[in-house]
Amino acid sequence: DIQMTQSPSSLSASVGDRVTITCRASQGISNYLAWYQQKPGKVPKLLIYAASTLQSGVPSRFSGSGSGTDFTLTISSLQPEDVATYYCQKSGDFGPGTKVDIK
Amino acid sequence: EVQLVQSGAEVKKPGESLKISCKGSGYSFTSYWIGWVRQMPGKGLEWMGIIYPGDSDTRYSPSFQGQVTISADKSISTAYLQWSSLKASDTAMYYCARRVVVVTAGDAFDIWGQGTMVTVSS
């Protein structure tokens, strides 16, 4: 079983800040990684798949990178509507999530 | 419009059985895997299993194997998640989601149902 970890578990940043979330796989997974956003009380939403491909309709301030075991999700300029928990996923395993809020 | 519509919230007693549903529309239901994801109150997402409605091929997470049954009726474009004997610890939101496979780049859940809240309490 592949274990997915995320860091940090939570963060607080100001509007306009650049935010980076890290996801690590316990073994190499090539670029087989997706990122999801779940706003409070809402359904999860796919942001990025194949580690770096932006899902249609997702704002360009979101980007993903990485390959192998280490991946990042970056929000280039944090907006109030980005308050959410972000999850990485490799097939049958989700990461524990990173909660993002506004300072 | 591509969508997955789930059945409504359920309140059950421990030991009771339950089957919840997820109906797909706006796309070829038999051509995509459907997955089920659990989210316990205040917790993260857990991958439960997936089914390919075209031939009912089903895969389970080891954590959920034997605890639930995933099925599908392709004639009505509906997938199901069922329990034979509920426990209080099954209290959670359950989501179905459409799985897309990207050649040489893994997979992801691109369309999600609205969720079905299951509450198990005596």
Q: What angle do CA B65, A38, A9 make, to 5 degrees?
A: 85
pLDDT in tens, B21-48: 999 999 999 999 999 999 999 999 999 9
The answer to whether the Cβ–Cβ distance between B95 and A89 falls below 8 Å is no
Q: Can you tell me whether residue B76 is helix, strand or coil?
A: helix
CA B71 to CA B82: how far, in whole Å? 8
For B32-63, b/e burial (b = at least 16 CB within 10 A) is bbbbbbbbeeeebbbbbbbbbbeeeeebbbee
CA A44 to CA A21: how far, in whole Å? 17
Rounded percentage of chain B residues whose pLDDT exceeds 70: 100
Amino acid B103: pLDDT: 84
Residue B104 has pLDDT above 90, yes or no: no
pLDDT in tens, B45-80: 999 999 999 999 999 999 999 999 999 999 999 999
Residues of B in Cβ contact (< 8 Å) with A90: 106
Residue B105 has pLDDT above 90, yes or no: no
The answer to whether the Cβ–Cβ distance between A44 and B105 falls below 8 Å is no
Give the residues of chain A that fall short of pLDDT 70.
none
Residues of A in Cβ contact (< 8 Å) with B65: none
Residue B102 has pLDDT above 90, yes or no: no
Residue B92 has pLDDT above 90, yes or no: yes
Amino acid B29: pLDDT: 98
Which residues make beta-bridge pairs with A87?
A: A36
Amino acid A1: pLDDT: 80
CA B43 to CA B28: how far, in whole Å? 32
B114 interface with A at CB cutoff 8 Å: yes
